[in-house]
Amino acid sequence: MNSEQASWREYRESSLSKPLAGALAAFVEQGYHGASIRDIAARAQLSVPGLYHHYPSKQALLMGLVNAAMDELLARSVQAEQGAGPSPEARFDAVVESLLRFHMARRELAFVASTEARSMGGEARHEYIGRRDEQQRMLDRIVADGVEQGVFAAKYPADAARAVATMCVAVSSWYRPDGPLAPDELAKRYLDIAHGMVGARQ
């Protein structure tokens, strides 16, 4: 595997702008509804008018974070699948590993994006759900291909794919970098579990 194919595994420090980084810290600590614009501005080292110059509302800050999360998640997932080759097994492993690594490396961003969907306005929430469903359809398609080709034995492919995605997303709610499992170890363990969920042939 060359470096271009493997780049979806590599994570640098977050490139969020100061307003978004301040909002992320406040939302993680206090929740969307508990965080104030004044607190977000202070965390971003901006005045309140200065913050509003970049983002006109707290809702706009939330959407900025959600869009940043989904842009990166989808881009990494697409790169992982495309670099894996044609086989359903390899594509499944790559996309699941990509999901797991994203929810470890960007755990706070992923956590806010998933848990604060209820705080989004109607159109914004609809857009988020559409992008989340795009990610799910990628996994649905891979599992369906695996069942069709006889390499997965899932009786309910769509349900199995949804369960795998839910497992990966949940990692952001409990994973800690100083925990007992390193990212590589956790990815290997959860891939074993995901294989069982889709009935991967040994």
Show me where the domains of the chain are located: 15-56, 59-198
Q: What is the pLDDT along the chain (202 residues), one digit of tens a residue?
A: 344 445 899 999 888 999 999 999 999 999 999 999 999 999 999 999 999 999 999 999 999 999 999 999 999 999 999 999 999 999 999 999 999 999 999 999 999 999 998 898 888 889 999 999 999 999 999 999 999 999 999 999 999 999 999 999 999 999 999 989 899 999 999 999 999 999 998 6
DSSP 61-127: HHHHHHHHHHHHHHHHHHHHHHHH-S-HHHHHHHHHHHHHHHHHHTHHHHHHHHHGGGGS-HHHHHH
Superfamily of domain 59-198: Tetracycline Repressor, domain 2 (1.10.357.10)
CA distance 115 to 45: 26
From CA 202, how far away is CA 186, in angstroms rounded? Answer: 20
| CATH class of residue range 15-56 | mainly alpha
| pTM of the predicted protein model | 0.91
